[in-house]
Every structure is written in C-alpha cells, then in structure tokens.
C-alpha cells in the first residue's frame, strides 16, 4: 500500500508543478504592434483612408461636403494570389455597378470629384469576376437640403 501512496503523491506533484499553462490571448484582442502598411500613411487632416477587409484595396478620399463630391485615390495590390493577372475596380456593388478602373494585380487610380460618403467600390478578379475586396467611402452623413416653405 505504501508503494501506491508514493506513486499517487508523485503523480500529483508532477501534475501540479509540470502542467502550468500560460494564458492564451483573447481571439479578438488587438495585436501589440500595428501591421505593416503597404503604403505610407496619409497625414492630411481631410483624408479618411478606407481599407478593405482583405487589405487588397485602399481608398483615400479628399474632403467632401454634402453639396459636392470629392476626388478619391485608390491603390490595390492583389499579388498575394499569384493566379490573379488582372483586376477591375467597379463603382457600386449590384447589377448596376460601373467599371471605374482596370489593370494588373497592382495599380492606382484616381476618381473625379463625384465620390460621396457611402459610395461602394469593389475590386474583382477580371478572369472570373470574383470579388477580391471592397471599400465604402465614409464621410459626413448628408441629408437632402430642405426646401423653403412657401408663405
């Protein structure tokens, strides 16, 4: 019996000292260092950079008001997928979407002064039309101008 008691004590000692686990970080905790950017940060005060979820498409719109749109600059980099030879950038995300720019897996484009808050841009693989990334332009929430009341 003494032999069993010794084995039990030894096992419990090994378990209590050798099985300490380090605490795993929370899944949704932010990284301790920011990810490296593919482009230098835009430090202009009027710029609100938007990056797609897949980090393949970046949009940097200029300042826009509710009465006028803004010019936006776009950069895409789809080299992470070697099967992508060409891409298309469209305005809108439905059947009425319009082709805005096209090019190789890496490229840049600039819009005219027609980009407003809420405008959606979708980057697609030109070969099969698969969506690669998308950005939605943010900015001031605009309400339609009020009409003067007739008296």
More confidently predicted of 140 and 23: 140
Query: pTM for the full model?
Result: 0.62
pLDDT in tens, 79-98: 999 999 999 999 998 888 99
Mean pLDDT over each residue of the chain, to the nearest integer:
73
Between 3.30.1890, 3.40.50, 1.20.950, 2.60.40, what CATH number should domain 50-136 receive? Answer: 2.60.40
Q: Looking at 23-27, 61-65, 78-82, 115-119, which range is the least confident one? A: 23-27
Q: How far is CA 98 from the centre of its chain?
A: 21
pLDDT of residue 64: 67
- List all residues 6 or more positions away from 108 whose beta carbon is below 8 Å from its beta carbon: 73, 74, 75, 76
């Amino acid at each position: 019996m003494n032999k069993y008691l010794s084995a039990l004590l030894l096992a419990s000692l090994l378990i209590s000292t050798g099985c300490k686990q380090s605490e795993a970080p929370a899944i949704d905790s932010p990284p301790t260092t920011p990810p490296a950017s593919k482009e230098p940060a835009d430090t202009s005060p009027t710029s609100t950079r938007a990056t797609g979820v897949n980090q393949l498409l970046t949009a940097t719109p200029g300042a826009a008001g509710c009465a006028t749109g803004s010019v936006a600059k776009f950069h895409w980099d789809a080299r992470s997928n070697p099967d992508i030879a060409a891409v298309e950038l469209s305005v809108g995300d439905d059947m009425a979407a319009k082709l805005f720019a096209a090019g190789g897996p890496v490229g840049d484009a600039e819009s005219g002064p027609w980009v407003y808050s809420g405008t959606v841009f979708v980057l697609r693989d030109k070969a099969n039309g698969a969506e690669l990334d998308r950005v939605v332009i943010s900015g001031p929430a605009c309400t339609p101008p009020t009409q003067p009341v007739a008296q």
